[in-house]
Amino acid sequence: DAGVTQSPTHLIKTRGQQVTLRCSPKSGHDTVSWYQQALGQGPQFIFQYYEEEERQRGNFPDRFSGHQFPNYSSELNVNALLLGDSALYLCASSLLALMNTEAFFGQGTRLTVV
Amino acid sequence: AQSVTQLDSHVSVSEGTPVLLRCNYSSSYSPSLFWYVQHPNKGLQLLLKYTSAATLVKGINGFEAEFKKSETSFHLTKPSAHMSDAAEYFCVVSEGNKLVFGAGTILRVKS
């Protein structure tokens, strides 16, 4: 079992550009959540997807959007990048039936906006 | 809204001595609480979880935590620190569909 895999591992983008980050959940999991971890801080919840729909959203602007595919994999899209979007983006997968009793995290994508 | 406060941003211990990482929570109902560890350049790993069963929770790598409702605390302990324990530790509370993380405690282990 490969666990949760994210790609790419590192990314450098210019202000104003758009970026897409990808996540494959742990085998058997149906729910994907995305978190942003700024340097020196704890992860902040962006949103969660289940059955290809956004179930809940954190306090992030509409520039952040996502998608979940029928195979449960997910993408996070960020438009009009700002310097403040530089962070580690973490994907977590879980089983909806277990709520948040067992969430597995990927190693993250380090996004640098210059 | 649920929240957690990690009382120490940095903790330094000598190898072989006990570890105590402190966490207080705020919740309007019986919470689900977790401790996660993050090693440099690695993802978050679940150490242990409390979901209203036994108040003393045992986790991986010799860590344990005790849920104390009267003190609204969920402190993480380990009897004897190992060099490999050096990492950042997060106290986490579940709020509906999301996890709410504390600011983290960086544990340094001196040889």
Instruction: Share the mean pLDDT of chain A.
Output: 93
Q: Are A30 and A104 within 8 A, CB to CB?
A: no
One-letter amino acid identity for A24? S
Q: Does B83 score more than 80 pLDDT?
A: yes
B101 closest CB neighbour out of A33, A43, A99: A43
Whether the CB of A4 is below 8 Å from some CB of chain B: the reply is: yes
SS3 state at B49: strand
The CA distances from residue A112 to A11, A63, A102, in Å, are 6, 16, 30
What CATH number is given to the structural domain containing A20?
2.60.40.10
Q: Which long-range contacts (CB under 8 A, 24 or more apart) does A94-100 make?
A: A94/A29, A94/A31, A94/A33, A95/A28, A95/A29, A95/A30, A95/A31, A96/A30, A96/A31, A96/A50, A99/B32, A99/B94, A99/B97, A100/B32, A100/B94, A100/B97, A100/B98, A100/B99
The CA distances from residue A23 to A17, A29, A75, A79, A90, in Å, are 20, 12, 6, 18, 9
**Structure-block tokens of residue A11:** 């990314």
Distance between alpha carbon A87 and the CA centroid of its chain, in Å? 11
Lowest pLDDT segment from B4-18, B42-56, B96-110: B42-56
CB contact under 8 A, A45 and B98: yes
Count of C-beta atoms within a 10 Å radius of residue B59: 17
SS3 state at B62: helix
Higher pLDDT, B103 or B96: B103
Mutate to test the interface with B, among A100, A101, A105 (most CBs of B within 10 A): A100
For residue B51, the 8-state DSSP code is: S
Instruction: Map out the domains of chain B with their CATH numbers.
Output: 3-110 (2.60.40.10)
Per-residue model confidence as pLDDT tens digits over A80-91: 999 999 999 999
- The residue length of chain A stands at 114
Q: For residue A99, what pLDDT is reported? A: 64
- Residue ranges making up the domain that contains A9: 5-113
Domain count, chain A: 1
Q: For residue B100, which residues of chain A lie inside 8 Å, CB to CB?
A: 45
Per-residue model confidence as pLDDT tens digits over B13-66: 999 999 999 999 998 777 889 999 999 878 899 999 998 778 899 999 999 999
- The residue length of chain B stands at 111
B43 closest CB neighbour out of A100, A102, A107: A107
